[in-house]
Homo-oligomer: A and B are copies of this chain.
Amino acid sequence: MDERAIRVVAEPTLRRLPAYHRLLAAMRARGRTVVSCTRIASELGLDATQVRKDLASTGVVGRPKIGFAVDDLLTGIADFLGWNNRSDAVLAGAGHLGMALMGYRGFEHYRLNILAAFDCDPEKIGRAIHGKEVFAVEKLPDLVQRLHVSIGILTVPTQAAQSVAAVMIQSGIRALWNFTQAHLDVPENVIVEHVDLSASLAVLSRRLAEVSP
């Protein structure tokens, strides 16, 4: 076994790590230096063994009887998720949602940096939204190539998503954060993370229908 081998961690684990990070940051702010999995689990309504396994996957080790050092966990989780290195991104689609994401200060916390936005509406091109300029979509390839941008955020209309994704991939984008409702067809080395509001709403509506049909 190569020690430097990249551990491919299960998706459910990855999805829980930010919640641990947030809770731990709040605990550190209150002066807490040490914490047990039992404690984290009860705060977040999870199983303690699951928390222990999740934390183990980041490589941080705890001490029997004592627990984990809060600081170790915070840096360990952030390192593991790549949140200690800046990630540059470009955004396509300067509509309501695109603008909301461009203005979201919370991304600084994860060191995600949206460099610029692109749109095909002449009305929007040239404007600056939250300090970030909106360019014509034709200028996307050049900027992505020059700055080696690896993340593309898609907030275009669903019908345009596949073609804009293709342009992004062609330009060197290696990961797409897809906020549209399109199922994207991409080469297997390209990562797609889909934030699907209709999927989320489907769960909400159905659960509501189940309790009061």
Contact = CB atoms under 8 A, between A and B. Distances in A.
A127 interface: no
A196 B18 contact: yes
Contacts of A210: 6, 8
A19 interface: yes
Nearest to A87: B205
B82 A208 contact: yes
Interface stretch (A115-123, A134-142, A175-183): A175-183
B174 A208 contact: yes
Interface string A1-34: 0000010110100111111001100000000000
* Contact-residue size bin, chain A (C-beta under 8 Å from the other chain): 35 or more
Nearest to A103: B96
B205 A18 contact: no
B81 A174 contact: no
A110 B205 CA distance: 9
A109 to B, nearest CB: 8
A83 interface: yes
Contacts of A106: 181, 197-198
15 contacts: A6-B209, A6-B213, A15-B200, A15-B202, A18-B181, A18-B196, A22-B198, A95-B100, A96-B103, A110-B205, A112-B205, A174-B208, A175-B207, A191-B208, A193-B201
Given A19-B183, A45-B185, A174-B212, 17 more contacts: A14-B199, A14-B206, A15-B200, A18-B202, A19-B198, A44-B183, A82-B205, A82-B208, A96-B99, A97-B100, A106-B197, A106-B198, A110-B201, A177-B200, A189-B211, A191-B204, A195-B197
Interface of A: 6, 8-9, 11, 14-19, 22-23, 43-45, 80-83, 87, 95-97, 99-100, 103-104, 106-107, 110, 112, 150-151, 158, 174-175, 177, 181, 183, 185, 189, 191, 193, 195-213
Nearest 6 A-B pairs (CB), nearest first? A96-B100, A18-B198, A100-B100, A15-B199, A193-B204, A82-B209
